[in-house]
A = this chain, B = another copy of it.
Amino acid sequence: MEIDLNLIGMDKGKQYETIITTVNSENVQNAAPIGVLCSGSDTILCRIFKGGKTLENILSQREFTVNITHDPELFTLSTIGNLSKDHFSRDNSIKGVDAYFKCEVISVKEAVKQSDPIRKKDEANVIKSKVTDIVINKEVQAFNRAFGCVIETLANFTRFDLVGETKKQYYLTRFRECSRVVNKVGGKEEKQAMGEIKKELLKKGYEI
């Protein structure tokens, strides 16, 4: 199949929520939810925190699999560490996902930018990789968090004038957090939308 990330709804410059599966030198499989930045039609970047099996396995094997799914169960199990052996296919993808692609590492760098508000930048590596194969089981658009953040922000926006001071402060905190996420993972449409909502909030006299 043609190798083009656009086939699974990934656009250059936007980050998508995926589950990365890896193996160690003894072929023990591991899964973890990781944000993947599409940097071209067949290249991706991902920032992976040190201390976990995903980074360890990628550094030792120089290859990994990116699984695309909208199954909340698979994301939950791979986050809390309960994805069992039975969930993995022999080719190290996760059974039943809509699509997956295979990657080979091009380069590994120390993270130089802070992208996470909690963890330190020196705790991560940025992995640049080339997509070597794409398998599509079902037509799918990889999930990008930005549109949902805009919708959540708009839902709060309609309630700003109905709530008390504590809740207003909470909504402002939420606005800042959604802005951060949209700036990190979104496209220009979502960034522009957040800018317009900000203007409206400023007009209403809120400090952002």
Contact = CB atoms under 8 A, between A and B. Distances in A.
Contacts of A157: 79-80
Nearest to A119: B162
Interface string A159-187: 10011000100100100000000000000
Contact of A197 (B80, B143, B190): B80
A73 interface: yes
Interface stretch (A38-46, A55-63, A100-108, A145-153): A145-153
B147 A152 contact: no
Interface residues of A, number: 39
Contact of A75 (B141, B150, B163): B150
A190 B143 CA distance: 15
A167 B192 CA distance: 28
Nearest to A75: B154
Interface of A: 17, 33, 70-73, 75-77, 79-80, 118-119, 141, 143, 145-152, 154, 157-159, 162-163, 167, 170, 173, 189-190, 192-193, 196-197, 200
Given A33-B158, A75-B150, A119-B162, 4 more contacts: A33-B154, A71-B189, A73-B193, A76-B197
